[in-house]
Amino acid sequence: MKGIFITGTGTNVGKTHVATLIARELQQQGVQVIPRKPVESGCLTEGNELIPQDAMALKNAAGYSGSLAQVCPFRFEPPISPVRAAHLAHQALTTANVAQACTANINEDKDFLLVEGAGGFYSPLCEDGLNADLAQTLGLPVLLIAEDKLGSINDVLLTTEAIKSRQLNLLAVILNQTGTSDNNPLMNNQEDLNHLLDIPVFHIPFQKQHTQKILSHRLIDLILMNS
């Protein structure tokens, strides 16, 4: 199966931002992207429906004609871990049924499956597993997203070790600069991580669309060569 699994060093590191850049660029190159954010908590309520904002952004970026329910079948209102939110909603999530929701109706000959996890790689996701277990079940190449800030080197190294321990193909690390990131000009996490890792390390600057476009092109080339 062609595709990618996008995970993070933690919550709010910019997984959806990076995922939408990738989905949009793939779609513009004629790739049929099947976006999946299978579990999302912290959904907004509109009428009688829970609206998953991250899943909606992925659907729009991919130009996906399927339903939002296919992109995100498991939705919860409280902004807490999915497994705890599921408990409160009297639902039991399993790694198997979440993985099945990701791969349902996939044409392996022409579809590109883009899956975004919930929280960090070791964040609890289901009754019987973490995001790591979902990634391992799907077996897709992995992209690791981290916020570009002081302390992220430790987070990245710990998570890359965890990903490799699951025998997964880690394609790259993406350092995402957010509005709250440390902008100390003396800090260069990308350069430091390039000395410590044997995989590409990308840096996405905050609100610099031209640079983001160039980087997304490079990411797409890497992803398509390895998926």
Catalytic-role residue among 15, 37, 59, 149 = 37
Q: How far apart are CA 175 and CA 179, in angstroms?
A: 13
What lies within 8 Å, CB to CB, of 212 at 6+ separation is 21, 204, 205
Long-range contacts, stretch 155-158, CB < 8 angstroms, 24+ apart: 155/9, 155/10, 156/9, 156/189, 156/193, 156/197, 157/196, 157/197, 158/9
* Rounded CA separation 83/212 (Å): 33
Respond yes or no: is residue 37 known to be catalytic.
Answer: yes
CA dist 59 and 40 (Å) reads 14
Q: What are the catalytic residues?
A: 37
